[in-house]
Amino acid sequence: MTEASEAPRSYRCILAVSPNGDDRRLLHDILSGSDWRFEFAGTFGEACNAIRTCMFKLVITESRFTDGHCWRDVLLETQGLVPSPQLIVTERSADGALWAEVLNLGGYDLLSTPFDAEEVLRVVAMALRPFPVWVNQADFDPAFDTPHAHGYRDVVPILQCHGNLSRRQEDLRRVPL
């Protein structure tokens, strides 16, 4: 029996985090036409609670919150989760510098607001696409040296044929999953 803090998380597809009611309504309108299951959080605290209790493939988050938190705090909450969700940041004044920062720190993409429905659906669909099995982070433990039930036997020969196994393991750790 697991303790309350270790209770298994339920599965959801998308968590959208925004204190802006208009953005939440627009995202709801855009996403409700899809088959994706989603839920919303209006504050950083609500997002943390959702992330701790549910498994998400994708988190779409506002860049800044009124309580002083920002998208980096949301990213920190998702790091270490297996599987770790993709993170898309939203910002009214989205620019190249923020986009580069999001990508460099491990986020998936940046969306500008107000949302363009086609752009949201395109970016979300790309973020939710499946990755090849041989780079699936869920197949390995955090140290990348203990096999789980599937996938490991196929990966080791692929990595060994490329030479330096340690370097390849480090490369795979950097793949944003």
CA angle 59, 168, 75 (to 5 degrees): 20
User: Which tokens in the block code for residue 33?
Assistant: 């036409």
User: To the nearest 10°, the Cα dihedral for 31, 64, 90, 85?
Assistant: -70
pLDDT of residue 177: 44
Q: What is the CATH number of the domain that holds 52?
A: 3.40.50.2300
Residues 91 and 168 in one domain: no
Which pLDDT does position 134 carry in this prediction? 44
| pLDDT single digits (tens) 63-116 | 999 999 999 999 999 988 888 899 999 999 888 899 999 999 999 999 999 999
Q: How far apart are CA 96 and CA 102, in angstroms?
A: 10
Residue 133 has pLDDT above 70, yes or no: no
155 and 96 co-located in one domain: no
Q: Are residues 29 and 104 in the same domain?
A: yes
Average pLDDT over residues 163-176: 45
The verdict on 26 and 74 lying in the same domain is yes
Do 119 and 77 share a structural domain? yes
pTM of the predicted protein model: 0.69
* Residue from 22, 23, 10, 95 nearest 60 by CA: 23
Whether 139 and 109 share a structural domain = no
Q: What is the pLDDT of residue 4?
A: 44
Mapped onto helix, strand or coil, the DSSP state of residue 92 is: coil
For residue 148, the enclosing domain spans: 133-173
Residues 73 and 123 occupy one common structural domain: yes
Output the CA torsion 71→73→77→79 (10° steps).
80
Q: Tell me: do 123 and 43 sit in the same domain.
A: yes
* Cβ contact 110:62 at 8 Å: no
Q: Is there a single domain that holds both residue 66 and residue 141?
A: no
Distance CA 120, CA 36 (A): 13
Average pLDDT score over residue span 143-171 = 41
Together in a domain, 70 and 144:
no
Rounded Cα distance between 88 and 43, Å, is 16
CB count within 10 Å of CB 149 equals 6
DSSP state of 154: H
Q: Which residue has the higher pLDDT, 25 or 157?
A: 25
Residues 90 and 38 in one domain: yes
Least confident of 1-5, 53-57, 77-81: 1-5
Cα torsion angle, 17, 62, 60, 28, sign: positive
